[in-house]
Amino acid sequence: MTELTSLTLAEARDGLRKKSFSASELAAAHVQAIEQARALNAYVLETAEHAATMAKASDVRIAKGEAGPLEGIPLAVKDLFCTKDIRTTACSRILENFVPTYESTITSQLWRDGAVLLGKTNNDEFAMGSSNETSLFGPVVSPWRRTDSNTPLTPGGSSGGSAAAVAAQLCLGAIGTDTGGSIRQPAAFTATVGIKPTYGRCSRWGTVAFASSLDQAGPFGKTVRDAAILLRSMAGLDAKDTTCADMPVPDYEAAIGRSVKGLRVGIPKEYRLDGMPAEIETLWEQGKAWLKSAGAELVDISLPHTKYALPAYYIVAPAEASSNLARYDGVRYGLRVPERDITGMYEATRAAGFGAEVRRRVMIGTYVLSAGYYDAYYLRAQKLRTLIKRDFEQAFEAGIHAMLTPATPSAAFGLGEKGGADPVEMYLNDIFTVTVNMAGLPGIAVPAGMAAQGLPLALQLIGRPFDEQTLFSLGEVVEQAAGRFIPQNWWA
């Protein structure tokens, strides 16, 4: 059965079409793998019976010649996407018993195309975190370990469960969300491929909101091709989301293997940080060499407002979170802590229902939106956001097709090693990723090498708006040069 879980999504799709195995066998193999990997805490809800039913229906459609693009493919879904009649918590106590009566647009499109739900994956509470340590259900443990060490490591956040599940071969692909790096950073830490599409490429309807102008759903895959296959099913116009773009969805898989000769790839000088580990610098140089040998032209560029991206992000995102999380008041759904009056109930419910990091961000957001501080903080941050976006636009107008940067400032760190006394230490993990969200651009993290301690490292490619195809083509070059990295199984 383990040979079925070691397949890539593309290999499994082709095997199902050839009837080399059934969707039911494929689902059962992954259910067994999940049961043996509970030490990773990647899933917060396993849906084995549901998966068996969906797989059986897929087998019927395959037999009839009616298979969809993802027919019989077992997937994991971040516990931020509403799934009809299946508990959805955002990994927060305030939603610990919430069972939606509706399906998110993203997941409905996956089921439309024949995918099979294995379960809901762990994430930082309301997607607020970079290590998956703020979850109600406890942290995910990375399937990776440092050489000669048993120290439990973070798989990254907030989509840590999805990344760990793909890396540990507990699903053939997974869905996450990216608000400031929450797909790309976990992908980098776990040697998986993760893409944040252009803002508006995928519907946000039915996804628990963190920061509405930054949130974007995206896939995790074992390979660049797998991520491309998944994104095609996820993307597209949705009338229920007014920020969703009315643009045709290309065949992303067709971009795999396409020549990158003549593409101009920008190297932003602002991403070369003081104190950046030598192995990150070396990896970046290696990535440049791979792209150059494939025929791409490397161009040094400047994105001068990059240095303001992180502080501006940590004003805009908490402000939007403060607004979005106001709906969790104990009145309509979720946790309710009774008190003598309604104000007391609001206070008690939110105090009991939100964890420390969520409360911190709500307080920051409320502060920067308050009278007397709005102009000084929120308005200024939005102006900076416009300048950050303009930096990218000017580079693209000058003929740049994509940009190459590191994905993270380091390899994965140990659980509990960062952010304890100083939350800013944790926030700095997003330093290479937040600019992409602030500008609404697509970005992909591709495994590119190994750190000295035996942990994966990744490179990030940033693209023009709605030009994910170019990222898949360039990402494939990096993947072919670097090879794939799979952790040794210590958990089963």
Active-site residue numbers? 78, 158, 182
Provide the token pair at 431.
């330093």
Residue 95's nearest CA partner among 338, 319, 350 is 350
Q: Which residues pair with 175 in a beta bridge?
A: 77, 219
Q: How many CB atoms lie within 10 A of CB 243?
A: 15
CB 36 within 8 A of CB 492: yes
Place of tokens 């105090």: 351
Place of tokens 């760190």: 413
Angstrom distance (rounded) from CA 439 to CA 479: 26
List Cα–Cα distances, 342 to 52, 326, 355, in angstroms. 45, 14, 21
Residue partners of 118: CB distance under 8 A and separation at least 6: 27, 30, 31, 34, 43, 46, 47, 48, 51, 74, 75, 76, 170, 171
Q: What is the CA radius of gyration of the chain?
A: 21
Q: Is 393 helix (H, G, I), strand (E, B) or coil?
A: helix
Angstrom distance (rounded) from CA 161 to CA 154: 10
Q: Are strands 264-268 and 402-406 parallel, antiparallel or unpaired?
A: parallel
Angstrom distance (rounded) from CA 429 to CA 355: 20
Q: Is 221 helix (H, G, I), strand (E, B) or coil?
A: strand
